[in-house]
Chain A
Amino acid sequence: MTQRPLHVVNAGLELTDEPLPEVPELDLALSLSRIEALHGAAAGARYRHFLGRALAAQPGGDRDDLLTLATLAAWRAGAVAFRTDALRRLDAALATDTVRIPTLAAALGLPEHSVAAFAELQRGSRFGWPDLVAGGLVAVVGGFRGLFGPWLTPAVAVLAGDRPGTFLIRTAASRSGTAPAGADESTGSGDAWLLTVDVFGHTLTRLVPEETGSHPLAARWAEAGLSSSSPDEAGAPGATLQLAGYTAYLRLPEVAA
């Protein structure tokens, strides 16, 4: 069965239509349009939700405080590329107390008492989240194109990427057997996709044939299977991606016995 993409941390999230206030220091509407352009309207709605609630919890603040809250909200909304900067700003805010804990908690959608624990978990793994348990589901990615996913054919092979939170996925060749002009022939068949994922969001981009052919992992397709583990930030075994037809399930590692 194919499933729509989701991240477990967003399950049950009731988005409020938070108005973004006008602040003289920054153009918040512009930041919203950037998130929507990068990750779509759903991520934009989450960004508005988390940033609106954070600003409501602590009106005012200087430009740097606002940048911190906007970056945390962007990351929390699913914009993976902001993780490094958001985490650095979170650590700085916790260390200097420039932004109050309730405000940070609102920006991240966490209870106040979990903010410090969350920061500690994230230092070890990008999938750290207080409510996630070992072996638990983190995210569902992929999906059939007719049901809001990117794939026309099932995913058939996965390899761990060269960076934490990255996977290389190959989908099956077209059922019609006809390859488009630019189809990747270096892998024999199908298309190659790069998944970049963390606890809040993911990007799934098709590698163009020139990239696939020269990709350092391309030579490893032969050893690819239906599941693979990507190392975490500390170099330990991280989350595992399991392929099942059109859908890929990302789970936390089991606790070592």
Chain B
Amino acid sequence: MAQGNRWNKVSASPTRTNGATLPEELTAEDLFTEAPAVADTALDEKLRQAYFWLVNRAVISPFYDVEFSAGSPVTFALGDAGAELNLPTDQSYSSNVLLPLLTFAVGGRCLLVGGPGRGKTTLAILMGVLAGSSPREVRRNVQQGQPQITVSDLVGMPLPRDLVTAGSLAEIEIAWRSWLTQPVKIIDEYNRIPTKTQSALLTMVAEGYVESHDQMHSTAPESGVESWFFTANDDAGGGTFPVIQALRDRMDVTVAAQGFNNRFFDELVARVEAGERPEDHLPAELVFGPDEQRLLEAAIRAVPLPGAVRRQLEFFASHFEFVQQGGRRFEYRTKDTVRTGGGEVAETIEANSGADLQVDLGSQTTNSLSVRSLQTLIRYAKAMAYFRGRPVVGLDDLAAVLPFALRGKLLPNELHPRFDVGADRELATDSISWLADLFAESRRQFTALGLAASDPISDALDLFNQGLDGVTSAQAASRLTGIESLISGIAKQGKLYGRHFDDLLALKYLHQRYTNYVSWLGFSG
């Protein structure tokens, strides 16, 4: 029996209420005015409706692993191996649906990993249908990774007529594949694609164009917002061909497709009996047109990142670059120096007996965060805040997306005692929990160091950023003394951590700028 109607239910607005915003003063007229309803065209509301349709109707996914709580959640200790189950008090989400949806919204790149038959490709196809393509069109445009796929298979081929008659490469017309300009591009099993073809894919993903026979073709769709979905059965470098690191680095977020919960078998039986696929039943009102996709992406970029949240992110990122024995000169004591010089970062970290490895968060990783990773993190934190209807990015938004944005980018140091022994051994393979814990520990250190209340290095940078106009030679000299005093304060602590590395280099920068300024003042009389 056909059960088409059961697909049509779209969550009623508002899908999210930010209850803490009761007005302080109301008047009689407010009693007789409709509550500021969520407009039909509110894109964040539409995005949430799409999410709830996906999670409640399309993907049988009762996982709520992206947790938010207004207050403390109820927590149950389970089993005898330290398992805990939290019951969040605020709207919480399934990462394997939410992160792909946010990728669609920001025009990003999402890697879906997990064993076969877990709905990775279905979810990616649903994103294509959300962007306005027909299910048939999206399915046809899925690029199946396989060992024989060539660059021509992927991008198209020159017209045979031109190959014979053309006098130069410029005269060759290329029959570009139609999937290239789709708003949602899906590459299935990308770790089965040969290395040479992966390189062509990298150009598309990284630069937004393809090249063949000296011809270029932009992959931008009508909206200008394109999102990519890759699937892989393995995230640890396995597959027919190893994924080239540059392509792997382009994945903005990595999400695991979770297993099927057997308590939801009835829905599975219904689908088998009805012979239905969710992508064929997406309600039309949930489809985002090209203009909406453009506005959505712009609205997400416009969500402000408050200074307090930015400072926490700066502090977190500062842990990972420095390694004590990484080089001789102070600036070169980095993991990158060790790696590019052919050394082993893990062994260099282990050789450092000066710092407490339990406290030094940087010692848990063999690399640091790239600028690209940080940009991704900011973009997805904004998307999370926007999705939740928050006016600015909160720390909880950042904490929620951070593990998915840094998975596969911030790599664990397997020689670290944390992964070797004790209660945390499982974190060596559960990178999402490890990254979430890393950020939580960074926040605890930030609080313990009192940096929210007093941060003299930020103060010094702020003072400098006010400009040097009118600063006298004596004032500049006083600031130089202050900078030296701050450096001396760090030096007296004895132990050196990653956070000091950025602070010291920032202080050196300020010292240089003031020194040059004082010289200039002296020169100009």
Residues of A within 8 A of B (CB): 26-27, 30-31, 34-35, 37-38, 67-68, 70-71, 74, 79, 81-82, 84-85, 89, 150-153, 171, 173-174, 176, 178-183, 185-186, 188, 191, 196, 203, 205-210, 213-214
Contacts and interface: CB of A to CB of B under 8 A. Distances in A.
Interface of B: 19-20, 22-35, 67-75, 77, 84, 86, 88, 306, 308-309, 392, 394-396, 399-400, 436, 440, 443-444, 447, 452
Nearest to B306: A210
Contacts of A205: 19-20, 22
A251 B67 CA distance: 38
Contacts of A179: 72, 440
Contacts of B443: 185
A208 B67 CA distance: 15
22 contacts: A26-B32, A67-B28, A67-B31, A70-B31, A81-B23, A82-B28, A152-B71, A171-B71, A174-B72, A176-B72, A179-B440, A181-B67, A181-B69, A181-B399, A181-B436, A182-B70, A186-B447, A188-B447, A205-B19, A205-B20, A206-B20, A214-B308
B68 A85 contact: no
B22 A210 contact: no
Contacts of A74: 31
Interface of A is mostly: mixed
B23 A180 contact: no
Contacts of A153: 72
A30 B25 contact: no
Given A181-B396, A213-B308, A35 B31 contact: yes
A176 B84 contact: yes
Give the residue among B31, B35, B399, B436 with the most A Cβ atoms within 10 A: B31
A85 B25 CA distance: 8
B395 A196 contact: no
A89 B28 contact: yes
Contacts of B69: 180-183
Nearest to A71: B28
A70 B88 contact: no
A49 B443 CA distance: 50
A209 B34 CA distance: 30
Contact of B31 (A71, A185, A191): A71
Nearest to A210: B394
**For the complex of A and B, 8 pairs with smallest distance between CB atoms:** A182-B396, A174-B72, A180-B69, A67-B28, A81-B26, A31-B31, A176-B75, A71-B28
B452 A186 contact: yes
B22 A203 contact: yes
Give the residue among A37, A181, A214 with the most B Cβ atoms within 10 A: A181
A191 B20 CA distance: 13
B35 A85 contact: no
A89 B30 CA distance: 15
Contact of A34 (B30, B84, B452): B30
Contacts of A196: 24
A1 to B, nearest CB: 21
A213 B88 CA distance: 22
Given A196-B24, A206-B70, A207-B20, A34 B31 contact: yes
Contacts of A178: 75, 84, 86
Contacts of B440: 179
Contact of B72 (A31, A152, A186): A152
Nearest to B390: A208
B34 A182 contact: no
B25 A81 contact: yes
A210 B395 contact: yes
Nearest to A186: B452
B70 A84 contact: no
B22 A181 contact: no
Given A34-B31, A173-B72, A180 B26 contact: no
A85 B28 contact: yes
A150 B32 CA distance: 29
B24 A81 contact: yes
Given A81-B23, A176-B75, A176-B77, 19 more contacts: A30-B32, A31-B31, A31-B32, A34-B32, A67-B32, A70-B32, A71-B27, A85-B27, A85-B28, A151-B71, A152-B72, A171-B71, A174-B73, A176-B84, A179-B72, A180-B69, A186-B447, A210-B392, A210-B395
A89 B399 CA distance: 48
Nearest to B452: A186
B61 to A, nearest CB: 20
Contacts of B88: 180
Nearest to A163: B24
Contact of B28 (A68, A150, A171, A176): A68
B255 to A, nearest CB: 17
Given A81-B22, A81-B24, A210-B306, A182 B74 contact: no
A209 B28 CA distance: 33
A191 B71 contact: yes
